[in-house]
Structure 1
């Protein structure tokens, strides 16, 4: 866990990220980080969060009719 403070940045607020965190994530000026709301607050990540929409797997079967019925195009 890292502790940080909010600082004024013009008319907005910003977070100062500790050097240890910047090094661990290999972050530099102008890099993008993502903030996701959670039940207990929020989470910062160098990667975008997974979407709420589950992926529809393509299931290949011996029966081509069943296979195409399970394809993402057939489910659209």
Structure 2
């Protein structure tokens, strides 16, 4: 996923931006930072507080990610 584009939960994106390679974190997100008052039926109820557990194994900076995506999409149209 690419931060600023593919992450749809504000709280998760903010949390990911604080992490380093190899780090494990838990993020407990209030509804306004997760799925809001409507939730995501049928899996996430309305006004749900959600817990994400994230382990960052590795990542690329934005320029490296764009180059990787461009290179890996050649011939897959």
TM-score normalised to structure 2 length: 0.19
Larger strand percent: 1
Larger Rg: 1
Larger helix percent: 2
Question: Which structure's relative contact order is higher, taking Cα pairs within 8 Å and 6+ residues apart?
Answer: 2
